[in-house]
Each structure stands twice: as structure tokens, then as C-alpha cells.
């Protein structure tokens, strides 16, 4: 039955991006910004508890990174009692949702995909105003959300079929997958739509319920998706949406005995903390908590002497400076063979120098980092780097007219020692390091000289070298002759090795297994 229904879907196709090079499309994006400013600016938004919109007595402000003096909207600060209500609501809703028809789940996701298609430019503008993505970066993420809806619709049906086992002559044996309970979804600000959506859809597609806690820098990108799911027919209790401060929604949410699983994406520091705290069995807790923790990266691009250097330079610049380097997948280390090192460095510097710094709302190629705290942390790396490596570009704050924001010039250091923090630590900003390798094998060793293992790119035309790279590079996502950012849901299952996390592989064919438990039923004939 289910497989027939699945066959009823049209073949999956990735959502195409908007072409903002066309005046008409660019005009529509500008209109969407105007509309979002008129419709949302200055508003106080609610949380959703027990299916009801709840205003907070205390609220916090969300600032526009392009000019941090501008408060774009406000959200409630949940109280401990409201967190309790959210978890209780999700627990109660699980008793019904766990038995919901997978086809119902798939249908809701398909409807949500259509609703989102019609509002993509609006969602792009909301994201631009709260996390500083330019048009193309925001569009890439919202298109990924449409893909997630389509992919998870299919995954819900696929996993509902169970799996065949080897038969017995005198028993009927089945193996089926069942949901596990209440999943806490905790997400970062840099992908405020696609990342929490991926985790939440994984949970819901499997029949679980969700307490969704967005990053406080970017709650509206998340809230609009929750409301879209409600509009598509999701019973409102299935997602509880809570906003507020980490003292109320961090440890207390993770520690709560009624939470069955924590699906987290964010920093290594918080991911490790969650892993440790979730290991403790709380009084009255009847399971071992499951933790998905997808964390940071220090992603290398290896360039061999035989590579197409123009192609490599373009890929490096896009992956290092797209969204000001604030992606877990961003290229932050280039490791090039000595014979092409200087030439590649020249080409990368030339391209990076052309990047105009400015406002994401006006679609500048290089926007601000998320806030002043982040800018100060990044500049600390840069100042220290000036004493340990050769600065070849940038190395300073950049102006953007009258605006006040975390604008930083694209920065490149050459001759970075592998023991340098520039080479080892996640900086999460527009800062790129170049390191020279003796030969391509040495370059692979250097690429692997990291506690992280999220993405990597490898440029060569030689099939033997490519083969070795495929075998040896320690990364969850290895890209050959292309940039190391831009995984597509359904195709590039995403998640890293080592301290990049639990390798959950969102958007991949095994992802739903994270949210399920397996039941074998053997019935004697
Ligand atoms: N591997 C991936 O797929 C991936 C994707 C995007 C971002 N990231 C990583 O995320 C980081 C940037 O995001 P960030 O600054 O928002 O990360 P962060 O770890 O500071 O925060 C992430 C989330 O955790 C919450 N949080 C804070 N303290 C908590 C606690 N004690 N318990 C539970 N939750 C708590 C925050 O409020 C936020 O919602 C980078 O390291 C980046 O590499 C990883
Ligand atoms: N999935 C995104 C990265 C998300 C992390 O920040 C990419 O593939 O570039």
C-alpha cells in the first residue's frame, strides 16, 4: 500500500533558485523586502504552547545585523513554567501523533512545500533582516526548505514500510519502525530555517512530537515555518515553539526527564555539553536519551599541482566568503602543493579583493557577521594571526556607510603553520588561511590534521589522486573539483566526522532512523 502511494509522487527534483540577475526577479525581491518591513517590523511575535499563540510578559529584541541599531522584532522570553507546559503539551500530543497515518504526514509536508513555494521571496527577506544573508544565500536556504518538505514526505512513507527479514518456516516475522517520543530541536542562527526544519521534519515524519527552540538571533525564520506547517494541516500540538534565554531553555530543556531525544546543531562547546548532560538519567526517566549533535568545522580545500586553478580559486572564494564565512561548511583552510601555491594564492586574493562589503538587503556579496560579539572574537584571531602568519588581504574592520554592524574585510593569511589557531580553530568569519604542502599526499595529511571532519574539497584532474582523496580524506562530505559548501537535501546527506558531530546525515536516506526505534514481531503460525 505505502509503496504504491510513494510511487504516486512525481520524481523528486531540487527546487530551482531565483535568477536575481534578471531585473524583474530582483525587483520582486526588493518588493518582498518592502512588504516584510511593512508587515513585520516592530511587531511582537508569539510562542506556540499547546497549539495556542502565547505572548510573553517579558520579551527580547531581534536586531538587524546590517545595522544593529535597528530592532526588527521582538519575541517572548519563556518562563520555566512555560517550558514545562511546552514539554507537557508535546508529551500529550505524542500519544495521538505516534499513530498518525504516514500518508497524512507526507500530505502535510507536500502542502507545506507548495505554501512555501508561493512565499519564498518573503521568507528570504525575513532571513536577510535577522541574520544578514544576502538574496542568493537566503534563497539557497529557503529552496533547501522546500526540498526538505519534499524529501521528508517521501521518507515518511519509505520508513513506514519497515524492512524485510529472512523468513522462518513456522513463524511470521516483521520488523517495523516506531517513533520514540518528544524531541527537543535546538538550532543555530546561521541556518535558522533549513537546519531546525530538517531536524523537526525528521522527528515529525517518524511520528514524534517536537519542542522547537530557535536561536534567539533568528526566531522569525523559524516561527514562519512552524505557522506554515500548521496552515498545511499539522495538528498544532505536534510542535511546541518556545523562545527565550539559554538559562531557561538550555540545560533545563536538555535535562528534562520527558525529553526522549535532543536534536542539536550548533557549536562544539554546546554540543559536547548536551551530550554530557543528556547521559545522566533523571529521576523518573524511563529511557536513555538519544543525542544528535551536529557541530563545527575547519574545512580544508586541497589543491593539487594539476588542478584547474581558476576553477579552484572560484570555488575557494565562494566557500570561504559566502555569508561572510559563517557556515559550518565554509572553506577556512587552503592547502596547496608548493608548485602552484603562489599562483593560486594570487588568483584567490584577486577574486576576494573584488568582493564588495555592504548590506545584505541590497544584496552585497559580503555582508556583516551576526553581531558585534562575533566580530570582536573574529578580529581577535585576525590580530593574533598578524603576528604568526603573513597577512595578504584585509585584516581590518570594513565600513558600510552610516551603518553599524560587524563588517569585516575579506581576510587572507598565507604561510599558516598547522599548529596555529588560524589552522586549527573554527573562526566562523571571513578569514581564510593558506598552507603550503610538499606534495599532494602531504596536502591530504595536512587536511586531516584537525579534530573536525565536516566538509572538504579536493581539486585535481588525476584519477589516481582523486581515488586516494576519496579513500583518505577524513570528512563526512567530500567534494571533488567543486566548492565545499552547498549540500542539497535528498542528495548530499550532510554531517561530519570527528568533533564535527554525530554524523547524522540530514537529507540522506538513513536520517529518519535517528528518530525511530525498531520492533520485531515474531508470530507462530
Ligand atoms: N554541523 C552542522 O551541520 C552545523 C550547521 C550549522 C552550524 N553549525 C555550527 O554552529 C555554530 C554556530 O551557531 P551558534 O553560534 O548558534 O551555536 P551555539 O552552540 O552557540 O548555539 C546553538 C543553539 O544552542 C542553544 N544553547 C545555548 N546554550 C545551550 C545549552 N546549555 N543547552 C542547550 N542549548 C543551548 C542556543 O540558544 C542556540 O539555539 C558553529 O560552530 C557552526 O559550525 C554546525
Ligand atoms: N548545509 C550547509 C551548511 C550548513 C552549516 O552551516 C552547506 O552544505 O553549505
ipTM: 0.99
Residue 172, CB-side half-sphere exposure with 13 Å CA sphere? 2
pLDDT of amino acid 304: 98
Cβ contacts of 271 within 8 Å, gap of 6 or more: 264, 293, 294, 295, 501
Per domain, the residue ranges of the chain are 2-7+47-60+79-115+151-295+504-524, 299-487
- CATH architecture under which domain 299-487 falls: 3-Layer(aba) Sandwich (3.40)
Whether the domain at 2-7+47-60+79-115+151-295+504-524 and the domain at 299-487 fall into the same CATH topology: no
Nearest alpha-carbon partner for 6 in 174, 147, 109, 155 = 155
Q: Helix %, strand %, coil % for the chain, to 5?
A: 45, 20, 35
Q: Is the CB of 294 under 6 A from ligand 1?
A: yes
To test the pocket of ligand 2, the residue of 264, 486, 489 to mutate (highest count of ligand atoms within 8 Å of its CB) is 486
Range 30-64 burial, b when 16+ CB lie within 10 A, else e: bebbeebeeebeeeebbbbbeeeebebeebeebbb
Mean pLDDT (10-residue bins), the chain, 525 residues: 60 96 98 98 98 94 98 98 98 98 97 98 98 98 98 97 95 97 98 98 98 98 98 98 98 98 98 98 98 98 98 98 98 98 98 97 97 98 98 93 93 98 98 98 98 98 98 98 98 98 98 98 96
The bound ligand whose nearest atom lies closest to the alpha carbon of 426 is: 1
> CA distances (Å), 480 to each of 330, 472, 473, in order?
15, 13, 11
pLDDT of amino acid 5: 57
Angle between helices 135-160 and 120-131 in degrees, nearest 10: 120
Q: What is the C-alpha to C-alpha distance for residues 177 and 174, in angstroms, rounded to an integer?
A: 10
Encode 281-331 in three state secondary structure. CCCCCCCCCEEEEECCCCEEEEECCCCCHHHHHHHHHHHHHHHHHCCCCCE
Per CATH, domain 2-7+47-60+79-115+151-295+504-524 is 3.40.605.10: yes
To test the pocket of ligand 1, the residue of 190, 266, 494 to mutate (highest count of ligand atoms within 8 Å of its CB) is 266
pLDDT of amino acid 11: 87
Q: Calculate how far, in angstroms, residue 374's C-alpha sits from the geometric centre of ligand 1.
A: 13
pLDDT of amino acid 1: 46
pLDDT of amino acid 6: 63
Q: Calculate how far, in angstroms, residue 447's C-alpha sits from the geometric centre of ligand 2.
A: 19
Q: Calculate how far, in angstroms, residue 269's C-alpha sits from the geometric centre of ligand 1.
A: 8
In the chain, the N- to C-terminal Cα span, in Å, equals 24
Amino acid at each position: 500500500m505505502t509503496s504504491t502511494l510513494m510511487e504516486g509522487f512525481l520524481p523528486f527534483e531540487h527546487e530551482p533558485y531565483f535568477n536575481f540577475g534578471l531585473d524583474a526577479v530582483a525587483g520582486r525581491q526588493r518588493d518582498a523586502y518592502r512588504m516584510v518591513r511593512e508587515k513585520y517590523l516592530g511587531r511582537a511575535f508569539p510562542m506556540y504552547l499547546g497549539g495556542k499563540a502565547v505572548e510573553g510578559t517579558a520579551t527580547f529584541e531581534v536586531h538587524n545585523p546590517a545595522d544593529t541599531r535597528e530592532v526588527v522584532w521582538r519575541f517572548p522570553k519563556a518562563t520555566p513554567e512555560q517550558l514545562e507546559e511546552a514539554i507537557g503539551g508535546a508529551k500529550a500530543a505524542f500519544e495521538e501523533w505516534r499513530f498518525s497515518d504516514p500518508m497524512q504526514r507526507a500530505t502535510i509536508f507536500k502542502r507545506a512545500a507548495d505554501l512555501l513555494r508561493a512565499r519564498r521571496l518573503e521568507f528570504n527577506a525575513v532571513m536577510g533582516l535577522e541574520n544578514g544573508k544576502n538574496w542568493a544565500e537566503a534563497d539557497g536556504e529557503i529552496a533547501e526548505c522546500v526540498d526538505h518538505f519534499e524529501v521528508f514526505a517521501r521518507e515518511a512513507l519509505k520508513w513506514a514500510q519497515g524492512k524485510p527479514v529472512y523468513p522462518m518456516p513456522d513463524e511470521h516475522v516483521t520488523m517495523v519502525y516506531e517513533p520514540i517520543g518528544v524531541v527537543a530541536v535546538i538550532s543555530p542562527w546561521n541556518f535558522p530555517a533549513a537546519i531546525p526544519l530538517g531536524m523537526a521534519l525528521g522527528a515529525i515524519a517518524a511520528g514524534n512530537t517536537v519542542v522547537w527552540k530557535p536561536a534567539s538571533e533568528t526566531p522569525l525564520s523559524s516561527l514562519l515555518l512552524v505557522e506554515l506547517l500548521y496552515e498545511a494541516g499539522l495538528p498544532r500540538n505536534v510542535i511546541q515553539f518556545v523562545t527565550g534565554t539559554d538559562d531557561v531553555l538550555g540545560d533545563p530543556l536538555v535535562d528534562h526527564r520527558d525529553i526522549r531525544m535532543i536534536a542539536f546543531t550548533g557549536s562544539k562547546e554546546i554540543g559536547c555539553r548536551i551530550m554530557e548532560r543528556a547521559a545522566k538519567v533523571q529521576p523518573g526517566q524511563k529511557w536513555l536519551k538519544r543525542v544528535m549533535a551536529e557541530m563545527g568545522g575547519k574545512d580544508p580545500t586541497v589543491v593539487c599541482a594539476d588542478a584547474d586553478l581558476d576553477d579552484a580559486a572560484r570555488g575557494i572564494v565562494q566557500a570561504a566568503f559566502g555569508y561572510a564565512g559563517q557556515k559550518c561548511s565554509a572553506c577556512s583552510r587552503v592547502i596547496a602543493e608548493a608548485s602552484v601555491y603562489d599562483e593560486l594564492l594570487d588568483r584567490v586574493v584577486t577574486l576576494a579583493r573584488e568582493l564588495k562589503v555592504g548590506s545584505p538587503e541590497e544584496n552585497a556579496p559580503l555582508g556583516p557577521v551576526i553581531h558585534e560579539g562575533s566580530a570582536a572574537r573574529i578580529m581577535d584571531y585576525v590580530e593574533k594571526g598578524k603576528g604568526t602568519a603573513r597577512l595578504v588581504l584585509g585584516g581590518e574592520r570594513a565600513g558600510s556607510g552610516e551603518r553599524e554592524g560587524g563588517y569585516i574585510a575579506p581576510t587572507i593569511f598565507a604561510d599558516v603553520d598547522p599548529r596555529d589557531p588560524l589552522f586549527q580553530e573554527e573562526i566562523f568569519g571571513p578569514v581564510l588561511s593558506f598552507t603550503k604542502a610538499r606534495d599532494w599526499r602531504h596536502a591530504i595529511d595536512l587536511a586531516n590534521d584537525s579534530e573536525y571532519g565536516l566538509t572538504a574539497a579536493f581539486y585535481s584532474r588525476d584519477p589516481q589522486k582523486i581515488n586516494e582523496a576519496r579513500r583518505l580524506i577524513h570528512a563526512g562530505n567530500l567534494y571533488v573539483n567543486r566548492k565545499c559548501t552547498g549540500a542539497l537535501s535528498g542528495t548530499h546527506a550532510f554531517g561530519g566526522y570527528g568533533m564535527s558531530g554525530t554524523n547524522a546525515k540530514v537529507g540522506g536516506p538513513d536520517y529518519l532512523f535517528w528518530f525511530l526505534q525498531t520492533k520485531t514481531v515474531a508470530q507462530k503460525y
